């Protein structure tokens, strides 16, 4: 028993250490976001705002009242969701084909997908900038959606094809014998069973799109399409020589909220063992 108890204490201490390591910066950002601008300029080392340094919800109100910021949030949510949706749909279809069909060049598709994933993002920014300017995609939503999609597709395809491969083929055949067209069998049997994979791919894609900075800052010039990470870096208060750190902190906190919500929603769908009971195991 004693041994058991000490193991548990050890686990808890370990967990706390890891949590501190991971969450301290987040906690500090939150702390900063509640301090007033003057307190930060004057130097306010405490975690909790000192007397008279606290700003209450003022920073948040200011950030949310800021048109530029609101627009960036809107851009980010829109671009990330569309990119995620498209990427997941295309990846689902592609992965299904790869898992189920035998077609020439199947290996090539998979290798190409990996090769794309290995490309450093930065190396593509220059060419993309030129191309987008010529085509007219520069500083538009599609101008960001397309690169986000292409960079998340490989991972999504690989994840999903692994999921599809685990679904017994008999299920689909059973559905076809039961009177389903290939498309009905796919939609009513295969996709529901691959849901955990679909949502895993969706989360990963959304993360990538939401957190991206390089494309966001290089392929946009105005608030028409500028996403949050880029917008935050352009966020300048009244005094250009004095960056509004507490406002930025509040903005950063606000911009993490959607991603937390999305993860909580999607995570619920990622249930293991969904296929149990389909066939004799």
Q: What residues line the site for another protein (CB under 8 A)?
A: 168, 170-171, 173-181, 184, 188-189, 192-193, 273-280
Q: Locate tokens 């851009």: which residue? A: 75
Q: Locate tokens 């009971």: which residue? A: 277
We find the least distance from the C-beta atom of residue 106 to another protein, in angstroms, to be 16
We find the least distance from the C-beta atom of residue 49 to another protein, in angstroms, to be 51
120-153 core/surface letters (b: 16 or more CB in 10 A; e: else): eeeebbeebeeebeeeebbbbbbbbbbbbbbbbb
Cα pseudo-dihedral 198, 203, 209, 210, rounded to 10 = 150
Toward another protein, which CB reaches closer, 243 or 269? 269
Closest to 232 in 3D by CA, of 31, 25, 76: 76
We find the least distance from the C-beta atom of residue 104 to another protein, in angstroms, to be 14
Toward another protein, which CB reaches closer, 27 or 177? 177
Toward another protein, which CB reaches closer, 42 or 184? 184
Q: Locate tokens 């370990």: which residue? A: 14
We find the least distance from the C-beta atom of residue 206 to another protein, in angstroms, to be 24
Toward another protein, which CB reaches closer, 184 or 267? 184
């Amino acid at each position: 028993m004693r041994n058991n108890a000490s193991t548990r204490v050890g686990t808890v201490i370990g967990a706390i250490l890891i949590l501190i390591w991971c969450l301290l910066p987040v906690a500090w950002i939150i702390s900063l976001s509640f301090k007033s601008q003057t307190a930060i300029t004057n130097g306010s080392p405490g975690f909790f705002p000192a007397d008279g340094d606290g700003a209450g919800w003022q920073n948040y109100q200011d950030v949310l009242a800021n048109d530029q910021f609101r627009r960036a949030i809107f851009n980010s949510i829109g671009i990330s969701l569309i990119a995620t949706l498209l990427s997941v749909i295309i990846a689902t279809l592609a992965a299904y084909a790869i898992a189920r069909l035998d077609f020439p060049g199947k290996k090539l598709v998979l290798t190409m997908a990996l090769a794309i994933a290995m490309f450093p993002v930065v190396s593509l920014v220059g060419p993309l900038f030129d191309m987008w300017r010529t085509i007219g995609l520069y500083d538009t939503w599609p101008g960001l959606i397309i690169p986000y999609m292409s960079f998340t597709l490989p991972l999504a395809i690989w994840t999903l094809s692994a999921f599809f491969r685990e679904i017994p083929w008999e299920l689909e055949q059973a559905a076809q014998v039961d009177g389903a067209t290939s498309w009905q069998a796919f939609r009513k049997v295969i996709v529901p069973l691959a849901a955990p994979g679909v949502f895993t791919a969706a989360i990963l894609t959304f993360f990538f799109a939401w957190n991206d900075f390089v494309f966001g800052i290089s392929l946009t010039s105005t608030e028409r399409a500028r996403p949050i990470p880029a917008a935050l870096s352009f966020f300048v208060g009244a005094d250009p020589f004095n960056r509004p750190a507490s406002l930025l902190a509040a903005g950063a906190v606000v911009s993490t909220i959607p991603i937390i919500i999305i993860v909580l929603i999607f995570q619920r769908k990622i249930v293991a063992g969904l296929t149990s009971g389909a066939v004799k195991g």
